[in-house]
C-alpha cells in the first residue's frame, strides 16, 4: 500500500455492517434513518449514505439545505430530513431538493406553504432546550394546522434527547421519553400513519421504548460508540482509518528539543520521526505531548507541539529506528495487534468521538474501499438501494 502525507481510508462495508447491526436492534417495525450531516461525520456524505442504505437504512437526515443538495447531486432519491433551522433562502433550496423539513411554530408552516409547500415534521422540545416548542398546546396546534394547509403534508412528529448517552444520568432521559411519548401518542391516535421518532444512536441502543416508528442514528453508523467507550463492545466497527507516514527520522541528542515552544526536550539521545500531518488536517493541537501513533505495529508517543503540517514521535534510542523512515503511521485505526480508536483520541482531548472525525479537514483525501478492496470507479456502493422514490 502506498503512503500519503495524510489520508483517511473509509471502509464502506463497515458502515453497511453497522447499519445492519442497528436494524437488528430495532423492534416493532421501527425504521432506520441514517444521519449523514457534517459530511457524514467526516466520512463523506454521499458514500456514507449509499453504504447506510445498502445496510438497511430507509431514509437519511442532515442539518442543512446544502447537505441535501449534495446528496441529490450524488444520485440519492430516498427521503431526506433536514433537522436544522432554515433561513428563507435555505428553506426554498431544501424544498426544491425535495427534502422534508422541521417546523415548530405556526408561522413556519406559513413560510413552508409560501415557498411552495412540502412534507413537514413537527418538533416538540421535551427537554433538549434548543429547537422545538416546549408548549404541548402549541405543538398540538402546529400539528393541526399542518394537517389543514393543503400545500403541506404532515409526515412526522419528533423530539431529541439531551442525556441519552449518559448512562449515569439522574433520570432526565426517562422523563424526556415519557413527556414526548404521552404527547406523541395522542398525535398518532389522530393520524395513524404519522412517523414518530426521537432516538439517536445512544437512545436506540439504550431503550427500545425510545425507538417508536423510526430512529435517527449517526455516530453508530460510522462504528463509533455513542457512549464514548469501546465500539467493539457494542458490536460496532469503526469505518475510518487516519494515517500518515514517517517522512524523516533524525537523532535528537539529550538536551535538544523539537517543535514550537520547545515543549519536548530529550532527556537522553533519541530518534524522532517526523510525520507530515497536523492541525491543518484536523489533528488537534491539544494532542501535543498527548497522543500515541502506531508505526510498525508499535505505539510511539507524540512529542512536542502539533503544528499545522507536522508532528513528531519519539521512536526511542535504538539507531535501528532509522529503518522506519517511509513507513505508514496510523493515528486512528489498527496496525498489527495495536489499535487507536477515535474514543481514545477524544478522551485525551476531553471531548467526544463525534468531534474527532468531524474535525478531519478536506485537505485529507478520503479513500473508499470495501474491506480493503478498492471501489470500482463509476460504480459506487449501494447505488441500486440509494435510488428510489421519496416518501
What positions carry a catalytic annotation? 37, 260
**Helix, strand, coil percent content, the chain, rounded in steps of 5:** 35, 25, 40
Instruction: In whole angstroms, give the CA distance from residue 271 to residue 318.
Output: 8
Instruction: In whole angstroms, give the CA distance from residue 110 to residue 39.
Output: 30
Instruction: In whole angstroms, give the CA distance from residue 15 to residue 253.
Output: 46
CA distances from 10 to 47, 151, 320, 327 (A): 9, 41, 32, 20
| Alpha helices, DSSP H, located in the chain | 12-25, 37-41, 45-54, 65-73, 88-96, 106-114, 136-148, 172-190, 201-206, 342-349, 353-358, 383-386
Instruction: In whole angstroms, give the CA distance from residue 149 to residue 21.
Output: 39
Strand 298-303 to 292-295 pairing? antiparallel
Contacts of 297 by beta carbon, 8 Å cutoff, 6+ apart: 335, 336, 337, 338
Instruction: In whole angstroms, give the CA distance from residue 342 to residue 353.
Output: 5
DSSP state of 326: T
Q: How far apart are the first and last CA of the chain?
A: 43
Amino acid at each position: 500500500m502506498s503512503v500519503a502525507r495524510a489520508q483517511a481510508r473509509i471502509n464502506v462495508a463497515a458502515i453497511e455492517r453497522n447499519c445492519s447491526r442497528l436494524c437488528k436492534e430495532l423492534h416493532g417495525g421501527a425504521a432506520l434513518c441514517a444521519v449523514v450531516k457534517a459530511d457524514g461525520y467526516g466520512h463523506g456524505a454521499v458514500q456514507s449514505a449509499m453504504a447506510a442504505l445498502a445496510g438497511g437504512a430507509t431514509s437519511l437526515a442532515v442539518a442543512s439545505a446544502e447537505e441535501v443538495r449534495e446528496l441529490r447531486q450524488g444520485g440519492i432519491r430516498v427521503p431526506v430530513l433536514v433537522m436544522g433551522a432554515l433561513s428563507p433562502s435555505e428553506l426554498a433550496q431544501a424544498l426544491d431538493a425535495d427534502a422534508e423539513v422541521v417546523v415548530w411554530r405556526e408561522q413556519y408552516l406559513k413560510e413552508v406553504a409560501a415557498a411552495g409547500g412540502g412534507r413537514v415534521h413537527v418538533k416538540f422540545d421535551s427537554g433538549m432546550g434548543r429547537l422545538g416548542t416546549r408548549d404541548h398546546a402549541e405543538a398540538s396546534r402546529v400539528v393541526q394546522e399542518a394537517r389543514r394547509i393543503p400545500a403541506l403534508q404532515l409526515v412526522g412528529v419528533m423530539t431529541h434527547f439531551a442525556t441519552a448517552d449518559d448512562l449515569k444520568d439522574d433520570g432526565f432521559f426517562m422523563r424526556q421519553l415519557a413527556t414526548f411519548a404521552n404527547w406523541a401518542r395522542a398525535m398518532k391516535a389522530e393520524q395513524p400513519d404519522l412517523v414518530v421518532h426521537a432516538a439517536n444512536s445512544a437512545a436506540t441502543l439504550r431503550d427500545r421504548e425510545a425507538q417508536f416508528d423510526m430512529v435517527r442514528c449517526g455516530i453508530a453508523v460510522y462504528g463509533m460508540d455513542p457512549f464514548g467507550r469501546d465500539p467493539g463492545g457494542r458490536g460496532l466497527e469503526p469505518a475510518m482509518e487516519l494515517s500518515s507516514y514517517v517522512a524523516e527520522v533524525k537523532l535528537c541528542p539529550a538536551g535538544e528539543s523539537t517543535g514550537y515552544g520547545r515543549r519536548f526536550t530529550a532527556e537522553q539521545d533519541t530518534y524522532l520521526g517526523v510525520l507530515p500531518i497536523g492541525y491543518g488536517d484536523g489533528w488537534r493541537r491539544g494532542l501535543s505531548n498527548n497522543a500515541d501513533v502506531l508505526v510498525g505495529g508499535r505505539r510511539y508517543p507524540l512529542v512536542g507541539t502539533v503544528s499545522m503540517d507536522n508532528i513528531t514521535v519519539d521512536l526511542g534510542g535504538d539507531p535501528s529506528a532509522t529503518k522506519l523512515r517511509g513507513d505508514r503511521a496510523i493515528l486512528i485505526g489498527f496496525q498489527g495487534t495495536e489499535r487507536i480508536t477515535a474514543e481514545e483520541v477524544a478522551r485525551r482531548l476531553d471531548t467526544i468521538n463525534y468531534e474527532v472525525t468531524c474535525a478531519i479537514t478536506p485537505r485529507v483525501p478520503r479513500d473508499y474501499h470495501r474491506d480493503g478492496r478498492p471501489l470500482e470507479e463509476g460504480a459506487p456502493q449501494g447505488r441500486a438501494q440509494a435510488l428510489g422514490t421519496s416518501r
